Amino acid sequence: MFARLVTTHLKPGKFDLVTRKFEEKVIPLLKKQPGFRDEVSFFDKERNESVAISFWDTEADERKYDLNAYPEIVKTLSDTFEGTPLVRRFDVANATMYKIHAN
């Protein structure tokens, strides 16, 4: 399994807008992507920060999403964050929800 971690700095006063857009636009688009498993999103209203972790069957699935659908998501959310989102990628070593353990 593979994970994608995206962090952004939100514009002041955009907390409600970004959470609504995630629910209405981002999550439905993610669910249509091959290899997508799950999304966990964190939004800190006081610090204007967001962290989103998505889980993928393979790195290839995540890379395909990055090329084909992620630009649309960035465009959808561009009025809610400042700067460029930081994307990091990880192999999942342990996960209780998917019963994965490091070898």
pLDDT tens readout for residues 40-77:
999 998 999 999 999 999 999 999 999 999 999 999 99
Average pLDDT score over the chain:
92
pLDDT number for residue 33:
97
Sheet of 2-10: strand order equals: 36-44, 49-56, 2-10, 81-91
Amino acid at 89: R
Q: How much is the pTM?
A: 0.90
Residue 2 scores a pLDDT above 90: yes
What is the CATH code of the structural domain delimited by 2-91? Answer: 3.30.70.100
CA distance 18 to 28: 14
Segments making up each domain of the chain, as ranges: 2-91
Any alpha helices (H) in the chain, and if so which ranges? 15-21, 27-31, 59-68, 70-77
Q: Rounded CA gap, 67 and 89, in Å?
A: 14
| pLDDT digit string, tens, across residues 90-99 | 999 887 776 6
Distances (CA, A) of 91 to 1, 3, 4: 6, 6, 9
Mean pLDDT of 73-82: 95
Quick one: average pLDDT of 71-90? 95
Instruction: Say which residue the tokens 């084909």 belong to.
Output: 68
Please report the pLDDT score of residue 99 as a whole number. Answer: 66
